[in-house]
Amino acid sequence: MAAAVGVGQQWVLVEMVQAFYEAPAYHLILEGILILWIIRLLFSKTYKLQERSDLTPKEKEELIEEWQPEPLVPPVSKDHPALNYNIVSGPPTHKITVNDKECINFASFNFLGLLDNEKVKNAAQASLKKYGVGTCGPRGFYGTFDVHLELEERLAKFMRTEEAIIYSYGFATIASAIPAYSKRGDIVFVDEAACFAIQKGLQASRSNIKLFKHNDMVDLERLLKEQESEDQKNPRKARVTRRFIVVEGLYMNTGDVCPLPELIKLKYKYKVRIFLEESLSFGVLGEHGRGITEHFGINIDDIDLISANMENSLASIGGFCCGRSFVIDHQRLSGQGYCFSASLPPLLAAAAIEALNIMEDNPDIFQTLQGKCKRIHRALQGISGLKLVGESFSPALHLQLEESCGSRENDVKLLKRVVDYCMNSGIALTQARYLEKEEKCLPPPSIRVVITVEQTEQELDKAASLIKEAAQSVLN
């Protein structure tokens, strides 16, 4: 058997050699040249298609030597208006000492006067004695204290939602909440006058941003309709693109409220979710201070997420988001400012709990505050040269120049003189500060007037007349 195979193999070989001899000469020569060419290609040096650089190392050294970077920061002139801060000695309460002058405070957002409240301070002291100051860890790693859990429960109960989540910094609250839900490819409709924290949250989320004119529901509906027609062209993509509307309850930049009932109608018509930012309206609007949903009488479950900071009415530090568990629980793993940052110091959480207690026990302070707001709103009408911007029940109003003097810088200087005049006569005011180059829609320069529950009627009248006087003397 093996011999037969061996013969068979030999026979194949013989055939091959014979074919070799019988082939025409040109065929053999062609094949020989081809083989030699392949061998040459295999052994020649390869080079990349895109030559990165033809620079020699010496030239690279020269380039490195020559390159001059810009200075790390451009120089700031000494009399830049934002460089010289007002120094407040002592607590920033109702009577405040600014730059060694005693004034009545019309500039801190201490709406309910809780900054100086004895009960709040005592609660914070008790917490300080028990826990010390800091928490030394993020919420995930032994930074969750029972005060945090209690505060979250209390806030959820107060706002009548299922769950609440606390952040340790007011700015970071909305700036971490938006990117947790809205990612690249999603669409967010946001009001032009939204505050800077919302803008940063939107920038971090990398979604498509569509701005609509301030409080203009017609403009918003137009944008929504455009989006709807886009969706019909590409229904597969539309099924996975999330949509959100981000509005503020009481706008910090203009003092208006958003028209929430119309927004709810638009929500159900176009299937968009609503995120509501209530930093100024929490603890101010509504019969019990629950914010703009109570003010308009809307079911709170209709709003997907309410976010607010505790630095205004609650006179503490930090912020919270509240809503249904389905929505809020997601932030516990994906809210950047929650997972990667230390938790709120317990003494501030205890102060916030006590402030909530006071708010629940005295619901008539909200009416008092609204009365004072209306009073000063009336009193500040008709000042020559300054116009009042804001709703009559808003505790944070703006006074803008009726006619601008040409450049923003000069406007700012003029308003500064008005503010200085008032400060010298015992009323502490401040200009509203913005980052001019970073804001999307920069509001005009203005003076902020803040009304708190602690200001008496005489003080309100005094402030109004003083502002009138200042406007007269400076602007005319």
Partner 1 sequence: MERPAAEPGAQPRANGCSGAAHGALRNGYVRGLPAPDTQIHHIVHNGGLYKKPFNEAFEETPMLVAVLTYVGYGVLTLFGYLRDFLRQWKIEKCQNATEREEQKDFVPLYQDFENFYTRNLYMRIRDSWNRPICSVPGAKVDMMERVSHDYNWTFMYTGRVIKDIINMGSYNYLGFAQNTGACQEAAAKVLSQYGAGVCSTRQEMGNLDKHEELEKLIARFLGVESAMAYGMGFATNSMNIPALVGKGCLILSDELNHASLVLGARLSGATIRIFKHNNMQSLEKLLKDAIVHGQPRTRRPWKKILILVEGIYSMEGSIVRLPEVIALKKKYKSYLYLDEAHSIGALGPSGRGVVEYFGLNPEDVDVMMGTFTKSFGAAGGYIGGKKELIDYLRTYSHSAVYAASLSPPVVEQIITSMKCIMGEDGSTFGKECVQQLAENTRYFRRRLKEMGFIIYGNEDSPVVPLMLYMPAKIGAFGREMLKRNIGVVVVGFPATPIIESRARFCLSAAHTKEILDTSLC
Beta strand 305-309 with 273-277 is parallel
Residue 363 CB, nearest approach to partner 1 (Å): 21
The rounded distance, in Å, linking the Cα atoms of 171 and 191 is: 18
- Distance (Å) of CA 380 to CA 246, 324, 370, 462: 31, 41, 15, 11
DSSP-derived 3-state class of residue 391:
coil
Residues 366-425 touching partner 1, rule: CB under 8 A, are none
The rounded distance, in Å, linking the Cα atoms of 136 and 255 is: 38
Residue 227 CB, nearest approach to partner 1 (Å): 12
Residue span 286-315 as binding mask against partner 1, x where in contact by CB under 8 A, dash where not: ---------------x-------xxxx-xx
The rounded distance, in Å, linking the Cα atoms of 303 and 239 is: 21
Nearer to partner 1 by C-beta: 146 or 287?
Answer: 146
Residue 116 CB, nearest approach to partner 1 (Å): 6
Q: Does 192 bind partner 1 (CB under 8 A)?
A: no
Q: Which ranges constitute the DSSP H helices of 317-363?
A: 325-328, 331-334, 336-339, 346-361
Residues 443-472 touching partner 1, rule: CB under 8 A, are 448
Nearer to partner 1 by C-beta: 22 or 100?
Answer: 100
Beta strand 427-428 with 386-389 is unpaired
Residues 64-123 touching partner 1, rule: CB under 8 A, are 64, 67-76, 80, 82-83, 85-93, 96, 98, 105, 107-110, 115-116, 120-121
Residue 44 CB, nearest approach to partner 1 (Å): 28
Residue 462 CB, nearest approach to partner 1 (Å): 19
Member of 332, 374, 416, 462 binding partner 1 (CB under 8 A): 332
Where is 279: in which H helix or E strand?
Answer: none
Token digits for 314?
């609650």
Give the type of residue at 219: D
Member of 133, 405, 441, 442 binding partner 1 (CB under 8 A): 133
Site stretch for partner 1 (CB under 8 A), options 17-25, 215-223, 283-291, 321-329 = 321-329
Token digits for 118?
């004895």
What is the number of other CB atoms lying within 10 angstroms of the CB of residue 379? 17
Nearer to partner 1 by C-beta: 8 or 104?
Answer: 104
The rounded distance, in Å, linking the Cα atoms of 109 and 195 is: 16
Nearer to partner 1 by C-beta: 32 or 140?
Answer: 140
Residues 220-259 touching partner 1, rule: CB under 8 A, are 238-243
Member of 155, 158, 165, 181 binding partner 1 (CB under 8 A): 181
| Interface with partner 1: number of residues (CB under 8 A) | 120
Site stretch for partner 1 (CB under 8 A), options 140-148, 151-159, 222-230, 360-368 = 140-148
Residue 46 CB, nearest approach to partner 1 (Å): 22
Strand order in the sheet with 187-191: 163-167, 319-323, 305-309, 273-277, 243-248, 187-191, 208-212
Residue 254 CB, nearest approach to partner 1 (Å): 16
Nearer to partner 1 by C-beta: 153 or 216?
Answer: 153
DSSP-derived 3-state class of residue 97:
strand
Residues 5-34 touching partner 1, rule: CB under 8 A, are none
Counted residue by residue, the chain has a size of 476
Site stretch for partner 1 (CB under 8 A), options 126-134, 255-263, 362-370, 453-461 = 126-134
Q: Does 209 bind partner 1 (CB under 8 A)?
A: no
Closest CA to 344 of 323, 326, 320, 324: 320
Residue 24 CB, nearest approach to partner 1 (Å): 51
Q: Does 333 bind partner 1 (CB under 8 A)?
A: yes
Question: Could you please report the per-residue DSSP string of 190-240?
Answer: EETT--HHHHHHHHHHT-EEEEE-TT-HHHHHHHHHHHHHHHHH-HHHHHH
Closest CA to 147 of 354, 360, 310, 346: 346
Token digits for 313?
């009415």
